[in-house]
Structure 1
Amino acid sequence: MTAKSYLEYIVREIHTTIVATVDDEGLPVTAAIDMMAADEHGLYFLTAKGKGFYDRLVKRQYLALTALKGEDTMSCVAVSVRGKVRELGNERIPELFELNPYMKKIYPTEESMQALTVFQIYEGSGECFDLSKKPIERTSFTFGGAEKRAEGYFITDACIGCGSCAAVCPQNCILTERIPYVIEREHCLHCGNCLTACPVGAVERRAHTVPGTAVLRRTE
């Protein structure tokens, strides 16, 4: 799947997300926000200019969101995205109302719609995390020109091939055919067992550097 496909999935299949922003005291604040459109340039949503959410978006120009769909952990879809946001104004409001006709029940008149403005999440990254498969599958993507960096756990040349890491891996995703061992990062849970178990410090954790994550668990 492309980045555009993941963003469209959020809009089409989940729609309502929980968005986190940061207030003036540096504390997180959440709000339920519908993602109303998506394209190759990002995600689009509306908010009223009188809300504290609007103020936080304008000040911070950054958000994180999570969306859930499904009946239980092992079958649900959870998508999380972090990225930069910018205000686009009201030009696209008619288009978003056409795509989301329920909005006309909330803001029924042209006068009431004047409170609204459009925001775009225009740069960020994501990660697809499918727990319905065994082993799990993890893929990542970026959009809007965000730099994609590797993250997670890696085994260095210091590996002595003792097997301690493989013995504690819950997904059996460490390849031991040759030394140094190799972690299949697309199946890794990021639990950290390998890092703790390695007697020679051959496992390294590389920090997440791209602004965004997305997690996907299929409903099939």
Structure 2
Amino acid sequence: TVSRQHVPELDRNLSNDEFLDLIVDCFHSVIFGTVDQNGDPHTNIIDIDFNEDGRLIFATTNQKSFYRHIKGHNKVSITALRGRETLTSIGFTLEGYVDEVSPQYLERIYKIKPQMHHIYANKTKDMNTLRAFALTPIIGSVYDLRFDHVFQKQFDFVNVPSKMQVEILE
């Protein structure tokens, strides 16, 4: 099973890729902000499964309104927070574009999260509705209040050379 790791003390040397790994390893479940066809806002909690070549990979079923929202308007904002009190918390936000990717990514998700088989046990038709997606980041930030000094850093992904190998489905 996937368990969240402790968030290490962060410093200015935190790279874009390390920031994305932090999201996967330490937050995992994030809130996605999307809009529907009328421009009305919606939020959903989604698990981020892994970071591959600077893109965050996750899955959702094509039966959810969330799926329709990201297929209709693929710019999203994600956020998450860890901590019990304001001064013991760390949070992040990330904006980017989401694209459906090859179903081959589902095999890796099942290896990472075997509980997916349990969630969809005896629901083979639901298992066939899962779709893999990649979030390509544009801009993000992290805010850490856990220590005497406040740590804040912004991440710009637009001007970073890409090594993306993710196959996007049209």
What CA distance in whole angstroms lies between the structure 2 residues aligned with 1:76 and 1:108?
36
Match of 1:206 in 2: none
Structure 2 residue 41 is the aligned partner of structure 1 residue 22? no
Q: Report the Cα offset of residue 131 of structure 1.
A: 2.3
What CA distance in whole angstroms lies between the structure 2 residues aligned with 1:70 and 1:132?
9
Match of 1:45 in 2: 58
Match of 2:110 in 1: 97
RMSD over equivalenced CA pairs, Å: 1.8
Match of 2:137 in 1: 123
Identity, % of aligned pairs?
A: 27
CA contact (8 A) 1:22 1:28 kept: yes
Alignment of 1:55-94 (within 5 A): 55-94=68-107
Q: TM-score, normalised by structure 2?
A: 0.78
Q: Determine which structure has greater relative contact order: mean sequence separation of CA pairs < 8 Å that are 6+ residues apart, divided by chain length.
A: 2
Q: Report the Cα offset of residue 133 of structure 1.
A: 4.1
CA contact (8 A) 1:87 1:120 kept: yes
Match of 2:49 in 1: 36
- Off by >6 Å, runs of 4+ in structure 1: none
Q: Which segments of 5 or more consecutive residues in structure 2 lack a partner in the other structure? A: 1-13, 161-170
Q: Report the Cα offset of residue 142 of structure 1.
A: 2.6
Q: TM-score, normalised by structure 1?
A: 0.61
Alignment of 1:58-207 (within 5 A): 58-108=71-121, 111-143=125-157, 146-147=158-159
What CA distance in whole angstroms lies between the structure 1 residues aligned with 2:144 and 2:90?
8
1:122 alignment partner, SS class: strand
1:132 alignment partner, SS class: coil
What CA distance in whole angstroms lies between the structure 2 residues aligned with 1:56 and 1:147?
27
Number of aligned residue pairs: give it. Answer: 146
What CA distance in whole angstroms lies between the structure 2 residues aligned with 1:81 and 1:29?
16
Query: Whose Rg is larger?
Result: 1
Match of 1:184 in 2: none
Match of 1:189 in 2: none
Q: Report the Cα offset of residue 37 of structure 1.
A: 0.8
Matched to 2:153, the amino acid is: T
Please give the per-residue CA displacement for 1:42-95, whole angstroms capped at 9, x wherever unaligned: 111111112111111011111111112111111112121110111104111010
Match of 1:7 in 2: 20
Q: Report the Cα offset of residue 33 of structure 1.
A: 0.6
Q: Report the Cα offset of residue 111 of structure 1.
A: 4.6
Matched to 1:4, the amino acid is: D
